[in-house]
Amino acid sequence: MLSTSLQISGVLLIEQDLRTVANEYGKVYGKDYVFLGYKPYPDNVILNMGENFRLSFPKDYYNNNLDDLPMMAGVTNYSNVACIVNINATSGVDSWINYANGRYGADLALGVTAVIATDYYAFLQSGQIFGLMGGLKGAAEYERLINRKAVANRGMTSVSVAHLFIILFIIIGNVAFFASGRDKRA
């Protein structure tokens, strides 16, 4: 797995998650996975990686030359990777669709917040992306798909309870309004 962050705030999260997963599954850095780190100007980085990963990332996050890492042997650009999975909470997803998929034809799947997920269903239906995980609900569905109920499934309990309370308050508000007997048409 080859990983990068195009937002500075994602670097520490990604590094921590990569180490956790690598330790759990016995994966070795440089052989099984590589973390490229962060570079500014996401559009330029995405375009450069379509030509050659080394244009934007001659070295990985830990300052290793990419050519010295066994996993990177024969890996030049998007045509050498099985797919791209972009986890994003911003419209930065658009750059991956426009450039990685649109220009270079890379297979692309998305994990986005629930608020922006609806913006990307059309890309899923058109085949421009092959997968879409929308918000906490999508993450919980993915956990069920891989038969590993974890953080997202536990979080859905809280979301469900919060939604029940919202519905209850709406009902109470309507009952109180109609019970007051006031004519609000004035």
Predicted confidence at residue 181, as pLDDT, reads 77
pLDDT digits (tens, 9 = 90+) for 62-109: 999 999 999 999 999 999 999 999 998 888 899 999 999 999 999 999
Q: Are 60 and 35 in contact (CB under 8 A)?
A: yes
CA dist 134 and 14 (Å) reads 19
| pLDDT recorded at residue 70 | 97
At 46 the pLDDT is 96
Please state, in angstroms and rounded to a whole number, the distance separating the CA atoms of residues 125 and 135: 18
Q: Model's pTM, two decimal places?
A: 0.81
CA angle 45, 67, 54 (to 5 degrees): 15
Distances (CA, A) of 30 to 38, 39, 61: 17, 20, 11
Is residue 186 over pLDDT 60?
Answer: no
pLDDT tens, position by position, 149-184: 888 988 999 999 999 999 999 999 999 999 987 665
Band (pLDDT 50/70/90 cuts) for residue 3 is: confident
| Amino acid, single-letter form, for residue 38 | Y
pLDDT tens per residue, range 20-74: 999 999 999 999 999 999 999 999 999 999 999 999 999 999 999 999 999 999 9
What b/e string do you get for 83-117 counting C-beta neighbours within 10 Å, with b at 16 or more?
ebbbbbeeeebbbbbebbbeebebbbbbbbeeebb
3 state DSSP class of 4? strand
